[in-house]
Amino acid sequence: QFQVLPIAQSLGIVEEGSWLQNTSSHVIATLIITCIQLSQWDSAEIPPTTDLPQCASVPSSLKDLSADRFTHMAPEPRLHTVFHSLLLDSDLTLADLSAHLSHALKDKSRQDPSSAWLLETAAALYWRRVGDTHQMVGCLQAAVHKAPPDLRDIPLHHVAHILLTLGHRHEALLLASLALQVSPHSINAHMVLFHTYLALGEPENALKYGKASLALYQQAHGSTSP
């Protein structure tokens, strides 16, 4: 099986001892791809700006993905680790990050249309970092809207798994449930729900999603267990 953690560590995306090691291999793989996307814009070439990473307004395809579903959202400084990884810069400030993401979102000339939605996903994490519910939801909506149909669950369960790792269980539950709504056969969405329900102390629900995840995996890959 393809092991992404050693690759991420060799690239400097995941440092030894980082809490990112406790996320899933799928999350780390997505971080690697996003890092490659963002590397197209050299931080030294980005002009100083006070612009913020705004995501395009898109038709809302998920009515349950709304700001009022996220209550009492405070800034989450630990998410800064994600951006140190994505931009391979341990000295990155919040202003640096904002400028880089804002520039990348606006510069369509260098964006790969097939994976530009990863930038919106990164922007959603930025807004979760600063604690802005409305902007986070808007960027997630944009990411889901722009992702290829068979990948639309990824922005949701990607952010869900990261937030679950940081202890935001109810946010993770909401986002992973929405990922399953978008893609009912998503193995990763089922797995995030499995881990989330375990963290919530609901083993019966956890077992249901764990079994479903295993069944989907076996259906996709034969009888071999992951």
Q: For 26-84, what is each residue's pLDDT tens digit?
A: 999 999 999 999 999 998 888 888 899 999 899 877 889 999 998 778 999 999 999 99
Alpha carbon distances (Å) from 137 to 58, 94, 152, 200, 210? 11, 19, 15, 23, 27
**Are 118 and 20 members of one domain?**
yes
d(CA 125, CA 78): 11
Domain encompassing residue 175? 148-220
Amino acid identity of residue 73, one-letter, is: M
Q: What is the pTM of this model?
A: 0.93
Contacting residues for 164 by C-beta, under 8 A, at least 6 apart: 172, 176, 192, 195, 196, 199
Overall domain count for the chain:
2
Indicate the pLDDT class of residue 180, thresholds 50, 70 and 90.
very high
26 part of a folded domain: yes
Choice between 83 and 116, residue whose per-residue pLDDT is larger: 83
226 part of a folded domain: no
- pLDDT (0 to 100) of residue 208: 97
- Phi/psi of residue 123, nearest 5 degrees: -65, -35
Contacting residues for 138 by C-beta, under 8 A, at least 6 apart: 55, 57
pLDDT at 223 over 70: no
**Are 49 and 84 members of one domain?**
yes
d(CA 182, CA 185): 9
**Are 35 and 92 members of one domain?**
yes
